[in-house]
Structures are given as C-alpha cells and as structure tokens.
Chains A and B, each alone.
Chain A
Amino acid sequence: MFASANWFLIGYNKPMREKQRPICPNVVDLFVVIITCMGVLFLAFPLYADEQPCAKVEVSKVELPKAEKAVKQLEEAKPEKSAADNKVSKAAKAEDGDAEAEAVKPEEQITVDIEALKTRLKETDAIGVFTKLAIRSDILDLVDEINRYRKQAKLESKINELRASFDGLLLKMVALLEGDPILSRDLYVSRESIWKSLLEVKA
C-alpha cells in the first residue's frame, strides 16, 4: 500500500505539504553553500590581486634609497661601468621626480638589494616556517661547501658544480613561492646578485 503511494496523489494538508516539498532541502542548502563559496572566491580574488601591486610599490619606495647608495658605491669602486649598471643608476637617479621610470625598470633595481629580499623571504606567508628553515639549511650547506673548496684552493675547478647546486636550490625556492609570485620573480631576476653575495661570504 505504502510502496505505491505518490506524493502528488495524496492530498496533504498545509503543514504536511511544507514537509513533503518535491525539492530536497539538503540539496538547496548545498547549493547555497556552493554559491557562497564561489561568491567569496570571486570577491576575494580582486582584493588579493589589488594587494600585490600595492605591496610592490611600498617595497620599491623603501628599497630605492638603499639601491641608490649601492649604485653610488659601485660607481665609486668601479669606474668602468657595465651597461646594466648604467640602467640601474639612471633609474635610481630618476626616482625623485619620475615615478613612471621606476615602473619601467623595476627588475634592475631589485637586483641590487639582497637584504630586502631576505626580509621579504622571512616575512612571506607563501611558505611555512619549517620550509623556510629547510631552505636556510640548504643555503648554509652551500656556503659551507663554497668555503671548504676555497680553503682547499679548488673553488675555481668546482665553481660550475656549485653553481648548478645553487641554480637547483633557486628553482626550488621559485617553485615553492607560487603563492607570492612577485617575490618569486624578484628572486629569479636577482639570481646573479645572490650568487655573487654567496661567493663573498667568508667562513
């Protein structure tokens, strides 16, 4: 008897009709949750995207005096400047009045300031604490290896091997920083400066 009963054939009173609606309420709830999640993602993405250029502008404002000092030191130390250094110094000198020039040549400025990169790596949320410690250990191991070869006077012969290790480590970092693409790009752009600074570290 009950097996053959259909909801649309039975004359329910109003409270029972409310209960026996054809659409399952759980499906509606699920639909509301999915729509809300999509709405949050849709609304949050422009905020996240807007945040990136703002942070970049702030960082570049902080870095510029340091960049200018570093460029001046380089100019004093080396009278023969490379073409890239010329671009950097020109961009740094134009900092006072011309904001557009900064936007055109951001990569050359970033290559100078290693300390700011270190700070940004320490403060980024794109990787966790243990990952940062693991990367730090790898860098310290590489520096130890460089110093060991330097003491044994084998640095020149092993330089390609060490550079390959450094490139691998840098690529790992760039891949891990997918949540902070600007820092990832800045690290990659500054790889030559980072490599030089690692070679300069003494035991």
Chain B
Amino acid sequence: MKRVLMALLAVMFMIPAAHAVTKAEDIATTIMLRGHACPGRTVSNISEREDGSGNKTIQATCSNGVRYQINVSANGRVTVQRLN
C-alpha cells in the first residue's frame, strides 16, 4: 500500500513537470532575455505586487544570490533591474 501511494505521488509530480514552464523558470528566462545572468534558469523568493493602475512588480533571487526586480507596465512593457 505504501509503495502504491509512493508510485502515485511520483506520477503526480512527474506529469506536470513534463509539460508546463514553471513561474520560476519563466521569471529567470525573462531576466536572461534582458541580458542579466541567472544561472540554473530558475529563481527563488518570488514576491509580486500590483498597483492600482495595473503595473506589476516582481522581485526574485537567482541562484547566484543576485536579486532582480521585473517591472511589467500596464501596456505590457517589461523591464528588469538588478537590486543588489
């Protein structure tokens, strides 16, 4: 029974991993597209906030410890700035 449950859990984790891009990968790719280094193509400590006019700000840390801020304006323009 325990082994069946473990097998089911493995299946549950494997199937989504085979398809979609995770948010961490998406943010890391965006950072790299703007010419910044983000080794491992993943980020951690993601924080998001949105102001009243529709501008979105995302902060995330790459695996090398550098923290970036991604600004997405209401009209969809994306800029990335290094924080530390």
Contact = CB atoms under 8 A, between A and B. Distances in A.
B69 to A, nearest CB: 13
Contact of A29 (B2, B14, B18): B2
Contact of B78 (A28, A40, A134): A134
Given A128-B23, A130-B27, A37 B10 contact: yes
B19 interface: yes
Contacts, number: 75
B33 A125 contact: no
Interface in B29-52: 29-30, 33-34
A159 interface: no
A31 to B, nearest CB: 10
B33 A131 contact: yes
Contacts of A130: 26-27, 29-30, 58, 70, 72, 78
A128 B10 contact: no
B27 A137 contact: no
A32 B11 CA distance: 12
The interface size bin for chain A is 20 to 34
Interface centre among A29, A32, A36 (most CB of B within 10 A): A36
Interface string A164-203: 0000000010001001000000000000000000000000
A140 B21 CA distance: 24
30 contacts: A28-B3, A32-B6, A33-B10, A36-B6, A36-B7, A37-B10, A40-B11, A41-B18, A44-B14, A44-B18, A125-B19, A125-B21, A127-B21, A128-B21, A128-B26, A128-B29, A128-B30, A130-B72, A130-B78, A131-B21, A131-B29, A131-B30, A131-B33, A134-B30, A134-B33, A135-B33, A137-B77, A137-B78, A138-B33, A176-B29
